[in-house]
Each structure stands twice: as structure tokens, then as C-alpha cells.
Chains A and B, each alone.
Chain A
């Protein structure tokens, strides 16, 4: 049961990440068209090959996003899906696409995540800015509105800080190890000209001397928002044969979620990526020691630490020792987030940050990672994380 590895990613595309975007503003439909055109060109496919799409929500249309995109691009699709799993959406789009292809519903699915600014609306809708709390719902009847927001537990920083603090009390903490994750990933970003921090390496001490935002999280342990956008095209084995690059098969997947607010997680330090990665490993017949590169969703350093532990690369509670003992750079003993991750390359808006990880895993396996290529890279674990460790998903990518 599970994925048989009969679907592969054969094309990728991304916009350059920019902190202060100066280019032309574009609607998400327009970015979908551009990313799709780039991804299918990269793969060596034509528009007529595309018969499926996976998206996240688009600002132009709060409902019917897949139909809006299909119509705009002139696609006839046999599989259309909008995924609503926050930062886990991109990884989850990809396994849904692979599953639909293996079921025989379709043969070529575009999964895209735009994240460039949209044009300024000359008639902005009236919204009450005093009732906006980031991704936390402010709607009446939402448990977050009623039991999170009044206590100030809103947005992401506080939630991840709560997780880190609980981890520290349970297993002990070494702030230098957490800072090392940010520093090593920043080293990786030096091989990625599209990273917002390209040309700006940092040290562990730089991280520890940066501003404390919510104890124990320093600002350099938190992603930098930026403009960007990424896409992949997932195809059947039959179509993969006519593509230009080494096909990157999706051989395992998993997904897990239990709570929206981490307050109610059974154990804040035991994250949903555990069951998600276990499912992906089981399905692919791989184990953590088979993994050449880990592309782990990294909104915060603590997210990477817990993903390393809960995916099974070390025992629970031993993540800090693991990070201290391993070089996480592309040239190191355990390469993590070889493009810099979102900590080093920037977190593009929309769901694009989470699509950067699968795109990088694909580039590594295709042997197209240029200045940051991991030698002999055949197998990757890629994870996505939404909310405050609310939902996580995992895929195993393997070169043919």
C-alpha cells in the first residue's frame, strides 16, 4: 500500500527571494501562469501535458481557487485540490499530486506557491486593522479568538517560544546548538544567489547577540519574511521519460495533525512530524540513515531541532548533541536546508516558503544545486510545518 514511486518531479521554478521587492506587482493568478510556464519549460513539457493542479488559497478569490487558476491558465484538469495546511501545504500538495497520478486520474500536476506582492487595490476593502491577528482567526466562535487572542498568545513567535521553553525544561537546552542551526544554514545560503542573506554569513555568536524576541528565541532564529514564489511539476513515469532532467520520484509520504493551538498538544515537545516521517519512511522502505539531505521546514531553529529528533535521525532529547556533533552545511556530515532554508534564504509570502524546501531537494537530486551541491545526492527527506507545529507533512524524494 501507499505510493509506489510511480510519480516524479521533473521541473521546478522559483522567483528570486527579495526582502524589498522592487519588481512589477502581480496577482496570484498571474504568478501561477508565470511559475507554471517556467516549471514546464524546465521539465521539457508543454501546456497540453498539464492535467492537474494543487494550490493554496489565492487572494483574488476566497473560494473556487482551483477553478479560477485553471480558467486563467487555460488548463483542462482532471484533478484539482486546494490544500489548507499552512506551511505544510506545499509538501502536502506534492504527495496529493503523486497519489492522484498513481491512481490514474492525471499525468502532470503543477503545484505552485506564489508569494510576490499583488498590485495595490485602488478600492481597498474596508477591514478593521484592530481585529487582525496574523494567521490567527479573529472570527467569533473560533476557539483561538476566544481562548488564545485575549491572553496575547497570537502570531507565531510566542507559540514557538513556548515549545522551546518546554523543551529546555524537559531535555535541557544549549542555546549555542540552536544558534548553530541558524549559522550553518546561513553558510548554505552563501551558495544560493537567490537567498535574501546571500553574501551575509553569520556566526553562532552573531545569533546569540541578536535581539531576544520571545525567550529563548533570538531574532536570527526566526525567519525573515520576503517576496518570492516556487513551483514544481509532478508527472507520471510515462511523461518523466520525455523530460530533460533526472526524474525525482516521490516514494513515501505522511501527514499528521492534532491541534491548531500548541497549547493543547498532548506533549509540546513531541511534534506531528514524527508520525508523518515514519509513514514516509515505511512507504519508501528507507530509513533515516539512507537520507543524503534533509530539507526541513524551518520557521524557527527549534522547528529544525525537533524535526531532526522526531523524524528519527537521533533519539528524543538528543537533538542538541546531534547538532553539535554534525556539520549541517552542504559540505558537512548531515546537510540540512542546503539552500539556506527559510532562515537563510527568506520565507517567501503565501505558502512559497514551504515550497522552497521541496524545490531544493529536487535540485540536489537532479545535481543542479551548483555552488551548494551535496555530492552523490540521491535521497531526500522533505518536511512541511504549518501553524505552531499544528500540522506537519513529510515526503521522501529519490533519484531514478
Chain B
């Protein structure tokens, strides 16, 4: 059976984030009222529920908050990627996101490692991967 790669299908709210990645930029929402950074993109600030969020372009730099080396595919769609270097990245703005580490030996993965974005293009989508900074 063919298991096509699951790719994001943006919503009206999240589209600016994905469009940013396509242009090689990391864009995050910041709350006008409480200054909190918001990720994933939302209609309202998840710190104060203000609807006043403004898109800002950030460096995309951060650190590895945690990681795992999946030696069995987490789903059949990822069978070709074994081992999967799954990471949770904490951006310098403090928000966290799911990602994949590239250009690194699995044994070099470490919590706290400084990372920078890699704009990974796949079948018309752009995913936010990371590599050592």
C-alpha cells in the first residue's frame, strides 16, 4: 500500500505561517495586548485570549528542548525516514514546536543544542526542519 506523506493543509488562520516558510521566513504571532508569542497560529492569544495578534518575522533560531531517535517508523508514512530524528524545538521567543533534525549525526543530538531553521520543501509544502547552528 502506498502511504503518501502527510503534509499540512493550511487554514485561513495558519496560512501566513506556512506562506512565510515558503518564502524562507519564520513568522510568529505576537499578542498586542500582553506581548506573548503564540504558536501554533491561533485566532486568539492563548495567554490572555486577546484577538489582537500581529505577525512578526523572527530568526527561527532556538535550542533542542527534547528529542528522540525513532528506530521504528512512528507511522507507515515515515518508513523511509528511519531513524526519524524527531525534535521539539524551543525558539528564542520561548514557543515550542515539533520538528525534524537534519544535517546531524543522531549521537550528536542533545537537549539544549543551538539550532537554526532549514526550510524543507516537499511536494509543494515547506516544513520547518532544523540543523545545528
Contacts and interface: CB of A to CB of B under 8 A. Distances in A.
Contacts, number: 114
Interface string A112-144: 000000000000000001110110001011010
A140 B11 contact: yes
Interface in B67-96: 67-75, 77-78, 81, 84, 86, 88, 96
A151 B21 CA distance: 15
Interface string A248-284: 0000000000000101100010000000000000000
B124 interface: no
B40 A161 contact: no
B65 A158 contact: no
B66 interface: yes
Nearest to A262: B88
Interface of B: 1-11, 14, 40, 65-75, 77-78, 81, 84, 86, 88, 96-100, 110-112, 125, 127
Contacts of A161: 68, 70
A83 interface: no
Nearest to A160: B68
Q: Which of the listed residues B7, B68, B73, B84 has the most CB atoms from chain A within 10 Å of its own CB?
A: B68
> Which are the 7 A-B pairs with shortest beta-carbon distances?
A169-B111, A161-B68, A166-B66, A162-B66, A151-B98, A153-B98, A215-B69
Nearest to B71: A212
A151 B10 contact: no
Interface string A146-163: 111111111101100111
Nearest to A215: B69
Contacts of B112: 169
B75 A154 contact: yes
A153 B127 CA distance: 13
29 contacts: A130-B77, A138-B6, A140-B9, A140-B11, A143-B40, A146-B10, A146-B11, A146-B40, A151-B127, A152-B74, A152-B75, A152-B78, A153-B74, A153-B86, A153-B88, A153-B98, A155-B74, A157-B72, A158-B74, A158-B86, A162-B68, A163-B66, A169-B66, A211-B71, A214-B70, A214-B74, A215-B69, A217-B68, A268-B88
A162 B72 contact: no
Contacts of B78: 152
Contact of A268 (B6, B14, B66, B70): B66
B74 A157 contact: yes
Given A146-B40, A147-B97, A148-B98, A133 B6 contact: yes
A78 interface: no
A213 interface: yes
